[in-house]
Amino acid sequence: MKKYEVLKAVVILQAVCMIALSVIVIVKLWPDGAASPGTNTEIEDDNDANSIDAVRGQTAATVGDELITAGELSDKLHELYGNSVLRTMMLHKAIDLEAKKAGLTVSSLEIQRELEMMIDGYESEEQFYQFMSKQLGLTKEQVLEDTHYKLMLEKIAILSVEISDREVDAYIEEHAEQYAPRLQLHLQWIVTESRGLADEVLGLLEAGENFDSLARSYSIDEYTANSGGDLGFIDSDDPFYDSDVLETANRLQVAEMAGPIRIADGFAVIQLVERKLTTGLSGRRLTEEVRKQLALEQAKPLSEIEEELLLKYDAKKNG
């Protein structure tokens, strides 16, 4: 799975984090010694209401002489992400109920294998989690939780789908190249708006300037500039990347640079950091992956399964 596919896969998680942020703000600002909400007496309820109002009125940020209160922050986050986050929470509950009913589980090994596919294209597992944290504000635990529920939903979707060994073997034979070892290139790039700027960058690199530093100063690619222009490992024939960039990169020696290369967003200067040959899937793991892939292709769309689960377990908002 490529970086941008991972990005789409965790958008909902990002929303969860934003709502969690509003909760953190309220908790952090809660006055010491204040009674917690939910007590039973009318006096305590009044005190709780007053305390909550006081917390909501406290300052979360300032801009000049203008204030942004904790209440305004919480309300805005709820307005932007509340429905999506609440739906996700209800869906997770419904998935848990269905999994328990069907006796389904997701093992730590299954989660690790899924993460391996997500991490593919990054220099390391550490870099992957750093990207999740810096770009999306997600912790490792949140990524693991989302992966768990994704795998469980897939198991629910294919529960009644039967795929024969003959179908699996035929697919593997027809798509052998898909599971063969792949050449991958670890690239860095600096993207500029003009050829002149790209030539200037090349000149600085040839004079001994650091690639990472120049990427942070010159690159207009918002996804990679702050990480020194690091694109991670890319398949040498990846259709999602500019063909001219990959053709040039394939001819480079490790640590060699090239450019300017005309791309959609301007001009790129690239550097080959490393090249490696991946290990292809084989044996039981290959047959398991193919069986699952074929079953998902025959099953209902996951979005449809989600709606069916929410309906089955009578999931609804209150108020």
**Residues linked to residue 262 through DSSP beta bridges, in sequence order:** 267
Q: Strands 257-263 and 66-69: what pairing?
A: unpaired
Q: Same domain for 202 and 108?
A: no
Work out the mean pLDDT of the chain and round it to a whole number. 82
Count the domains in the chain.
2
Residue 275: is its pLDDT beyond 60? yes
Same domain flag for 132 and 218: no
What is the rounded distance in angstroms from the CA atom of residue 160 to the CA atom of residue 193?
A: 53
Residue 239 in any domain: the answer is: yes
Is residue 139 domain-shared with residue 210, that is, in the same domain? no
Amino acid at 3: K
Please write the tens of the pLDDT for every residue from 150-207: 999 999 999 999 999 999 999 988 888 777 777 889 999 999 999 999 999 999 999 9
CATH code for the domain in which residue 241 is found:
3.10.50.40
Q: Is residue 267 located within the same domain as residue 215?
A: yes
Residue 316 lies in a domain: no
Same domain, 203 and 265: yes
In a domain, 285, yes or no: no
Confidence band for 40, pLDDT divided at 50, 70 and 90:
low
Q: Please give the pLDDT value at position 83.
A: 83
Verify that 8 and 150 share a domain, yes or no: yes
pTM: 0.59
CA 16 to each of CA 26, 133, 222, 235: distance values in angstroms, whole numbers, following the listed order = 16, 14, 23, 32
| Residue 298 located in a structural domain | no
On whether both 125 and 191 belong to a single domain, the answer is no
Let me know: does 265 contact 222? Beta carbons within 8 Å.
Answer: no
Residues contacting residue 90 through CB under 8 Å, at least 6 positions apart: 310, 315
Strands (E), 101-216: 183-192
pLDDT band at 50 (very low <50, low <70, confident <90, very high): low
* pLDDT tens digits along 227-252: 899 988 888 888 888 899 999 999 99
Task: Tell me 275's DSSP state.
Answer: E
Is the pLDDT assigned to residue 297 strictly greater than 60?
Answer: yes
Within-domain flag for 118: yes
| pLDDT above 70 (res 319) | no
Residue 29: domain span: 3-157
Whether 138 and 189 share a structural domain: no
pLDDT > 70: what percent of the chain? 81
Pair 8, 111 in one domain: yes
Question: Does residue 289 lie in a domain region?
Answer: no
Query: Same domain for 128 and 199?
Result: no
- Residue 15 pLDDT > 60: no
Whether residue 166 is contained in a domain is answered as no
Quick check: is 71 in a domain? yes
Do 125 and 12 share a structural domain?
Answer: yes
End-to-end CA distance of the chain: 40
pLDDT band at 16 (very low <50, low <70, confident <90, very high): very low
Q: Are residues 144 and 210 in the same domain?
A: no
Final residue before a domain boundary, out of 102, 123, 157: 157
The amino acid that residue 49 corresponds to is A
Nearest-5° angle of CA 285, CA 10, CA 151?
35
pLDDT number for residue 193: 94
pLDDT score recorded for residue 4 = 38
pLDDT in tens, 72-113: 888 888 788 778 888 889 999 999 999 999 999 999 999 988
